[in-house]
Amino acid sequence: MLKLLRPASTRAVSSRFVATCVVPITLPNAASRFFSHKSSNLQAGSTVPSEAADAAATVIAEQRDASTIAHSATWLDALTERDRQAAEGNVLDSFSYMNPKTTEVGERTRSESFSYLVLPFKDDRWLCDSYINAFGRLRAGQMFQDLDALAGRIAYRHCAPAEPMNVTASVDRIYMVKKVDEIQNYNFVLAGCVTWTGRSSMEITVKGYAFEDLVPEDISEETLPNENVFLTANFTFVARNPLTHKSFAINRLLPVTEKEWIDYRRAESFNAKKKLAAKDQSIIEPSDEENRLVYDMWKASRELTPQFNKNVMFMKDTTVSSTLFMQPQYRNRHSYMIFGGYLLRQSFELAYCAAAAFSSAGPRFVSLDSTTFKAPVPVGSVLSMSASVSYTEHIHDGSDPEAGVDSPFNLPATNKISANPDAFLLEPGTLVQVKVDTNIKNLDSVVSKESGCFIYSFFVPRSSYEEGKPHFSSVIPQTYSEMMEYVEGRRRAHDTANYVATMPK
């Protein structure tokens, strides 16, 4: 099981990595700040897990001179050592972490793993330029790299002084709580910590905060106000022993406040529910209502002609694909696998292409649903991705003439228009769900295998279209397989709506 999980990611995206009692160091041409408590300055070539870089090429790393990038080994070093070990009959999973140092298990509080990243878009227009999309809004794929990097660093801080090989088992959800369109007017802080632990697994929660004014000087969970949260993300990490390749017992989390206990119980309940609901959505038998929906869609699809209706498109016509060769410049801290944040970014960019081409407008990212990584992506492999629109939902207000139209492609919405002026679903529009399937092929094999499936949701407001021509968009499945994809998409939309309903107000 564990060999199917991809190594964790903790990339160096910092210009200054400082501790509570350490004088900050400024690196050349760097723009952001990557902090954690009780740490030393970020140094080139660091071998300390909680301080080391994870990815060789990231947004900010690419802005810096190569000599400042903190890596413990070059790709040629790692490649030579792997070949040497293979000649002796050994399998090397990580170049930098070959010994866990200790197997003793202790207790850690949330504050001991707490870390944060400052992205000063308001203060640094060139950093902002790296994170902005063609419509002048946040390019979410870039931030996914930061989220994955920060989560990986938090995992290693919790495990210290042990140095296991941490792998990301899943991204449990990334959700945009509210829209922050003009990012040039904000300074962002991404901050998180471990919120739950099992024997060898841990849940890490990361939140994004947007500040129009100054970022708090002393950043902690207590000084980051909930009203500034614009994004939440949850990751599950699993620790492996690099010597035995088996699970590795990690430090237990010790909640110390009422809020920490509430979060711990919530995460515990979620993990128990996740194990019970581990069955793949595609093999869950459709209910009577879903069977009726499939039949109604089949009848309706025979009568629709997209060439005469510009607002609908057959599902098969929404597919876009991409093939990439995995180069070592995008490797993670373990050297032999690709940085997970890079994979998230690439899958997101393809999903965005599919949603934009389908809707003929600039979609806004809303959420990434729970994603389990089924296999790591090795350096030197070929990654194939295929994205298609699997579900659409029309968000109406009371004045919409289409709200009462009875159609299998205009079902009652699982999501409602929000009264929150900062919410995405503030006006009528189309919720577009895109499924991205990824497969990897090693050059020494004729068979490709599934790496993971990513489900992204976007929102396209009716106001995005030319004045006087607002409309909703619909995807039309034609085959039974496509109709089941649509049904699964509606189930996921329900799950997201339920998740939002349980979020703290």
* CA 285 remoteness from chain centre: 29
Report which of residues 291 and 106 the model is more confident about. Answer: 106
- Nearest CA among 110, 247, 226 for reference residue 165: 247
Which pLDDT belongs to residue 371? 84
Distance CA 51, CA 362 (A): 38
C-alpha separations of 336 from 31, 91, 314, 332 in Å: 28, 11, 40, 7
Side chain identity at residue 5, one-letter code? L
Distance CA 499, CA 450 (A): 27
Report which of residues 304 and 435 the model is more confident about. Answer: 435
**Residue 225 DSSP class:** -
Task: Give the max Cα distance, the chain.
Answer: 72
pLDDT tier at 51, thresholds 50, 70, 90: low
The burial class, CB within 10 Å (0-12 / 13-18 / 19+), for 304 is middle
Side chain identity at residue 11, one-letter code? R
E strand residue ranges, 302-411: 312-314, 320-325, 364-368, 371-372, 382-395
pLDDT tier at 415, thresholds 50, 70, 90: confident
Distance CA 297, CA 410 (A): 11
H helical segments located in 218-338: 258-276, 288-303
Check pLDDT > 60 for residue 1.
no
Q: How many CB atoms lie under 10 A from the CB of residue 274?
A: 14
- The CB-side HSE value for 392 (13 A sphere, CA atoms) comes to 29
Compute φ and ψ for 420, nearest 5 degrees: -75, 120
Structural domains of the chain ordered from first start: 93-278 (3.10.129.10), 304-502 (3.10.129.10)
What tokens were used for 312?
Answer: 């609908």
The sign of the CA dihedral 397, 181, 353, 453 is: negative
Distance CA 435, CA 414 (A): 18
Side chain identity at residue 353, one-letter code? C
pTM exceeds cut of 0.95:
no
Identify the bridge partners of residue 474 per DSSP, sorted by sequence position.
Answer: 312
Which pLDDT belongs to residue 199? 94
What tokens were used for 330?
Answer: 């995008």
Mean pLDDT in residue range 378-387: 96
Which pLDDT belongs to residue 139? 93
The set of residues, in sequence order, having a beta carbon less than 8 Å from that of 148 and lying 6+ positions away, is 9, 11, 168, 171, 235, 339, 340, 341, 344
Tens-digit pLDDT profile for residues 86-142: 899 888 888 877 788 888 999 999 999 999 999 999 999 999 999 999 999 999 999
Distance CA 61, CA 58 (A): 5
Percent of the chain beyond pLDDT 90?
47
Check pLDDT > 90 for residue 71.
no
What tokens were used for 67?
Answer: 């000599």
What tokens were used for 449?
Answer: 């295998």
Check pLDDT > 70 for residue 287.
yes
Tens-digit pLDDT profile for residues 231-282: 999 999 999 998 888 999 999 999 999 999 999 998 888 877 777 665 555 5
Which pLDDT belongs to residue 427? 83
Percent of the chain beyond pLDDT 70?
79
